Structure 1
Amino acid sequence: MSIKSLLAKPFAYFTYLSVKKWADKPIKTQDKVFQDLINQAKDTQFGKDHKFSEIQTYEQFVAQVPIRDYEDLKPYVERVVAGESDILWPEKPLYFAKTSGTTSGAKYIPITKESMPNHIKAARNAILMYINETGNSSFVNGKMIFLQGSPILTTQNGIQLGRLSGIVAHYVPKYLQKNRMPSWETNCIEDWETKVEAIVDETVDQDMSVISGIPSWVQMYFERLQKRTGKPVGELFKNFNLFIYGGVNYEPYRAKFENLIGRKVDSIELYPASEGFFAFQDRQKEKGMLLQLDSGMFYEFVEADSFFKEHPKRITIKDVKVGVNYVMLISTNAGLWCYNIGDTVQFTSTQPYRIIVSGRIKHFISGFGEHVIGKEVEYALQEAIVTGNARVSEFTVAPQITPESGLPYHEWFIEFEQEPDDIHAFAYKIDQALQQQNSYYLDLIEGKVLQPLKITKVQNNGFQEYMKSIGKLGGQNKLPRLSNDRKIANALQKYIVGK
């Protein structure tokens, strides 16, 4: 055992004790975060506009600070982008994480000197908690790859701009630098397909032990490795035993990944975003990710079913319930206030507080009031995969409200790596699993308002070609699981099998 892997274990245990300290006192921890945020921001422009100096209780905060999305916060953000200080948070932010928005154009999410360390600390702690639980630290001796965006940053009015993963690349600890891949030069390649080929060139003969990234893009990397060598990834990288991922649910990809790797490997799920690092998987055998309550972020929740009402009820962690679908709101030491990040979550535990990401508040199907969410379709597909002898590369779902004949239905666009033995039985299994989870969908099927779902097969690499066609291949870009319209469905028509 190397010195590095030997030292990792006591460091991991120290981290476990540190995390347990605040996780065991969640309400007290969040109360302190709330007070600190209000006190630190009371003299900012936002703090003055919302009378932070008068706020003593959470109830006052609710009365004075409304729910906002990016478009609502944009007037403040634009002042910061223009170079003004003390607008949303004291001084100027260190960075803007630049993301592509669908309605607002480019989004500029502030990252401050207070918030930046939490992005790094949470990712590190996720790995250390895994080491403490499993005793496995051998992987720290091998090479590690993090598939991410370019680390090249630009500067505007004294603030650096870039993608979150590119910003984080500047903070890789020195003790990991020589183990980290790909090279800086390769990481700077903007074109994703060119970048993946360069990563394959650099890693194909290395001792890779940890691989991290969004599953859909890691899958592309694995496929290129297999195409290049004709070998499963696990045979190329004999010491590869830990996959770290975030961004999308891994379960729909798991069967294909295990086929590409040739064996099972441990995995750690993360919940990072430009707005903050919200949660990570702290236990291998427990469902959900540990909500980061001590990371400069104050959380509020609104039941998703009532979110679009005029005055939806906001609650804190002390009032949440397991299994309820919530919209998550955050106030942070980066200057976001009662900010709707667009995700919906469900608590799997309140001792400690663990969550799963159930979908996006704007990504659902409810053409007839069924309100089918991402978690439900992913679970239903997984149920069919388990019994249908199939492997799925990618999928998305859209409503077909005006079919040429018959009742409306949900259309599932699926790219199979291995087609099921019986496609009709596969579709039936998905539909039954969806009915079991969503009573509204069940009622619509039984009431003959909807007919059971239909599967449309997408060509090999069809989804990659679609993402490429809209300029969103690779990096942090993710295909929406659900749409409430036919925009994606119509664009996919050119990639349909048989067309």
Structure 2
Amino acid sequence: MSLKSLAAKIFAQRIYKKTQTWANSPVETQKAVFQNLIQDAKQTQFGKDHSFAQITTFEDFANRVPIRDYEALKPYVDRVVKGEENILWKGKPLYFAKTSGTTSGAKYIPLTKESMPYHIEAARNAILHYIQETQNASFVNGKMIFLQGSPILEEKYGIKLGRLSGIVAHFVPKYLQKNRLPSWETNCIEDWETKVNAIVGETINEDMTVISGIPSWVQMYFEKLQQRAGKPVGDIFKNFNLFIYGGVNYEPYRAKFENLIGRKVDSIELFPASEGFFAYQDSQKEKGMLLLLNSGIFYEFIKADEFYSEKPKRLTIGEVELGVNYVLIISTNAGLWGYNIGDTVQFTSLKPYRVIVSGRIKHYISAFGEHVIGKEVEHALQEAMEGTNVRVNEFTVAPQITPAEGLPYHEWFIEFENEPADFNSFAEALDNAMRKQNIYYDDLIVGHVLKKLVISKVAKNGFQDYMKSIGKLGGQNKIPRLSNDRKIVDMLTKF
């Protein structure tokens, strides 16, 4: 065993014990985080506007601070962006993570000197928990790649801004710098296809042991590697044994990845966002990701089916239940308060608290009251593929409310790697799996309100071409699994 591997194991054990301390006292841990956040923000403009000085309990907070999304918080954020101090959090942010997708264009999510370290520690600790559980630390001696956005940052009113993954690139620990790829110059390439080709050139002859990124974009990297070398990725990188991912569910990609790699590799799921690093997979044996309760984030949970009611009940960590779909609400040491990040989660364990990401509160299909969510379509597709040679590259689902003839239906746009031998049988299996996932959908089929789902094939690389056409190829961009309108799929018909 190398000295580096031994040191990693010792460090992993120390971090594991430290994690157990707060994970075994979840309610107390969150109370302490809450109190610290309120105390630190009393003198901010937001704190004064919402009487933080009078807040002593969560109930006080909930009465004074409404749930907000980015649009509702934007008047405060705009003041921070213009360089004003002590608005949402004390002082000025270190950075803005710039993202897109709101009705008003770009979002500027603040990252502060208090919040930034947790983004770095969480990614590190996910790997250390893997080492502690498996006692496998050999990969630390090889090369590691993190497919991410450009680290080139802009500056606005004295505050640097860029993509979160590009900002994080500035914080890679020194002990990883020699092992890390791609080079800084390659990482700075903006065009995604050009960048991936350059990464292939830099890595194809290296001893890659860890590869990390959003599955859809890592898949593109693997395909280009395989095309250039003419052999599976696992033969190119013989010591590659750990894939780290976040952003989307890996399961729909797993069969394709194992085919591209030529064997199975361990994986670690992360739940990072510009707004905070919320959870990571702490065990290869247990389902879900450990919710990070001691990372400067106070969590609230609202049942998804109550979210749009006039006054939904706001729950704290000690009040949640297993298997319920919750909208995740956060307050953070970056100055986000009662903030709806848009993600929904379900708890898979309460000792410790582990979650899965079940979808997006705005990404659903409920054209007929069925309220189908992302987790359900992913699980249904996975079930339909079991025991077959079918492999899927990408997919999305939308309702067809006004068909040319017959009943309306859910339309699945799927880019196949390996197509079903019998499309009708596969569609039938997929529909049956969906009916098991969602009883309301089943009722609509039984009641002849909807007909069974329809599959529309998307051409090879069609999703990539679509993302390129809207300027969102690569980086942290991803295809919504489903939507309640046909804006995306109407454009996809071109591909």
Q: Name the TM-score class by shorter chain.
A: over 0.9
CA displacement, residues 12-50 of structure 1 (integer Å, 9 cap, x when unaligned): 000100000000000000000000000000100000000
For residues 102 and 274 of structure 1, what CA distance do their matches in structure 2 show? 14
CA displacement, residues 188-209 of structure 1 (integer Å, 9 cap, x when unaligned): 0000000000000100110000
For residues 125 and 375 of structure 2, what CA distance do their matches in structure 1 show? 26
> Which deviates more from structure 2 when the two are superposed, residues 433-442 or residues 239-248?
433-442
2:303 corresponds in structure 1 to: 303
Would you say 1:279 and 2:302 are equivalent positions? no
For residues 84 and 179 of structure 1, what CA distance do their matches in structure 2 show? 40
The structural deviation recorded for 1:429 is 1.2
2:46 corresponds in structure 1 to: 46
For residues 104 and 388 of structure 1, what CA distance do their matches in structure 2 show? 44
2:266 corresponds in structure 1 to: 266
CA displacement, residues 199-236 of structure 1 (integer Å, 9 cap, x when unaligned): 00100110000000000000000000011111100000
The structural deviation recorded for 1:102 is 3.3
For residues 7 and 122 of structure 1, what CA distance do their matches in structure 2 show? 19
1:401 corresponds in structure 2 to: 401
For residues 116 and 109 of structure 2, what CA distance do their matches in structure 1 show? 12
For residues 136 and 377 of structure 1, what CA distance do their matches in structure 2 show? 34
2:426 corresponds in structure 1 to: 426
Would you say 1:197 and 2:177 are equivalent positions? no
2:218 corresponds in structure 1 to: 218
> Which deviates more from structure 2 when the two are superposed, residues 423-432 or residues 202-211?
423-432
Q: Classify the secondary structure of the residue corresponding to 2:102.
A: coil
For residues 416 and 388 of structure 2, what CA distance do their matches in structure 1 show? 12
1:175 corresponds in structure 2 to: 175
For residues 429 and 352 of structure 1, what CA distance do their matches in structure 2 show? 35
Output the aligned Cα RMSD.
0.6
Counterpart mapping for 1:73-472 below 5 A: 73-472=73-472
CA displacement, residues 373-427 of structure 1 (integer Å, 9 cap, x when unaligned): 0000000000011133200000000000011111000000000000122211111
1:474 corresponds in structure 2 to: 474
Q: Classify the secondary structure of the residue corresponding to 2:279.
A: strand
For residues 187 and 17 of structure 2, what CA distance do their matches in structure 1 show? 35
Q: State the one-letter code of the partner of 2:191.
A: D
Which 4+ stretches in 1 moved above 6 angstroms? none
For residues 489 and 108 of structure 2, what CA distance do their matches in structure 1 show? 29
2:16 corresponds in structure 1 to: 16
For residues 119 and 235 of structure 2, what CA distance do their matches in structure 1 show? 33
Identity over aligned pairs, percent: 75
Q: State the one-letter code of the partner of 2:340.
A: N
Q: State the one-letter code of the partner of 1:290.
A: L
Q: Verify the 8 A CA contact 1:388 1:426 in the aligned structure 2.
A: no
Q: Verify the 8 A CA contact 1:4 1:140 in the aligned structure 2.
A: yes
Q: Verify the 8 A CA contact 1:388 1:422 in the aligned structure 2.
A: no
CA displacement, residues 84-134 of structure 1 (integer Å, 9 cap, x when unaligned): 000000000000000012312100000000000000000000000000000
Q: Classify the secondary structure of the residue corresponding to 1:388.
A: coil
For residues 96 and 19 of structure 2, what CA distance do their matches in structure 1 show? 28
Provide the aligned length of Structure 1 versus Structure 2: 495
Q: Verify the 8 A CA contact 1:65 1:337 in the aligned structure 2.
A: yes
Q: State the one-letter code of the partner of 1:42.
A: K
The structural deviation recorded for 1:72 is 0.2
For residues 198 and 30 of structure 2, what CA distance do their matches in structure 1 show? 44
For residues 489 and 125 of structure 2, what CA distance do their matches in structure 1 show? 40
Q: State the one-letter code of the partner of 2:348.
A: T
For residues 102 and 397 of structure 1, what CA distance do their matches in structure 2 show? 21
For residues 493 and 375 of structure 2, what CA distance do their matches in structure 1 show? 25
Stretches of structure 2 that go unaligned for 5 or more consecutive residues are none
For residues 433 and 317 of structure 1, what CA distance do their matches in structure 2 show? 32
Q: State the one-letter code of the partner of 1:268.
A: I
For residues 103 and 283 of structure 1, what CA distance do their matches in structure 2 show? 38
> Which deviates more from structure 2 when the two are superposed, residues 309-318 or residues 139-148?
309-318
For residues 67 and 221 of structure 2, what CA distance do their matches in structure 1 show? 40
Q: TM-score scaled to structure 2, two decimals? A: 1.00
2:65 corresponds in structure 1 to: 65
For residues 248 and 390 of structure 1, what CA distance do their matches in structure 2 show? 20
The structural deviation recorded for 1:433 is 1.1
For residues 92 and 314 of structure 2, what CA distance do their matches in structure 1 show? 30
For residues 239 and 388 of structure 1, what CA distance do their matches in structure 2 show? 29
Q: Classify the secondary structure of the residue corresponding to 1:494.
A: coil
For residues 429 and 297 of structure 2, what CA distance do their matches in structure 1 show? 41
Q: TM-score scaled to structure 1, two decimals? A: 0.99
The structural deviation recorded for 1:430 is 1.2
Stretches of structure 1 that go unaligned for 5 or more consecutive residues are none
For residues 121 and 238 of structure 2, what CA distance do their matches in structure 1 show? 29
